[in-house]
Amino acid sequence: MTATRTKSPKSKERTTAPKLWVVLARAYGAMAAYVEQIVAEEGICLSDFMVLEVLLHKGPLTISEIGEKVLLAAPSMTSAIDRMEKLDYVVRKNLKEDRRIRLVELTRSGRGFIEDLYQRHARSLEIVGDALSQDEIERLRKLLKKLGLSAATQQNSARAAAQEKPAHAAAGKRPAQRKVA
């Protein structure tokens, strides 16, 4: 007689924070790859798209302001701006009141390009979002915002705690022990 092994139905497992992290990472990865594919078809990369998109919606900004909005480091920002300038999508201009400040703004061709691309991008994301009801989308947005704020709070707490540690603790060293005679 041959024993057959059957899988027992999974009991309702609790979704743990690490499992949620994996699901979030995979969902983000899939959506990012989808957006990257769409913008790559236009001959630009995702960071270039993000720069153009923030300029479309926020108007002229300094490179550091753009970097803060799209979460890119200064060297990456400079490279993205250089690429967009070569394509005649953006131009750098000195601020009249303070010539030390340089603003980046869309050119006419850059504005036309990103307006068209952004409309297609938004439609594509709406198609992906059609997997959820409007109520689910609203709940998901609120929950993700809540989760992000919680993570930021934890990060700030950890940063503050690290700053309070004595120098030897931060370096991972123990203070020298005094010998008692």
Residue 65 lies in a domain: yes
Q: Which domain holds residue 55?
A: 33-147
Residue 63 lies in a domain: yes
Number of domains in the chain: 1
| Tokens 């203070």 sit on residue | 175
- Is the pLDDT at 132 greater than 90, yes or no? yes
Question: Cα angle at 57 between 51 and 61, to 5 degrees?
Answer: 60
Residue 77 lies in a domain: yes
Residue 60 lies in a domain: yes
pLDDT tens-digit map of 12-40: 788 999 999 999 999 999 999 999 999 99
Domain at 95, CATH number: 1.10.10.10
Residue 167 lies in a domain: no
Query: How far, in Å, CA of 167 to CA of 173, rounded?
Result: 9
Region 50-63: what's the mean pLDDT?
Answer: 95
- Is the pLDDT at 7 greater than 60, yes or no? no
Residue 51 lies in a domain: yes
pLDDT tens-digit map of 58-91: 999 998 899 999 988 888 888 999 999 999 999 9
- Is the pLDDT at 180 greater than 70, yes or no? no
Entry pTM: 0.72
- Is the pLDDT at 8 greater than 80, yes or no? no
Query: How are strands ordered across the β-sheet holding 61-62?
Result: 61-62, 102-106, 90-94
Indicate the DSSP class of residue 175.
P
pLDDT band at 122 (very low <50, low <70, confident <90, very high): very high
Q: Is 118 helix (H, G, I), strand (E, B) or coil?
A: helix
Query: How far, in Å, CA of 26 to CA of 19, rounded?
Result: 11
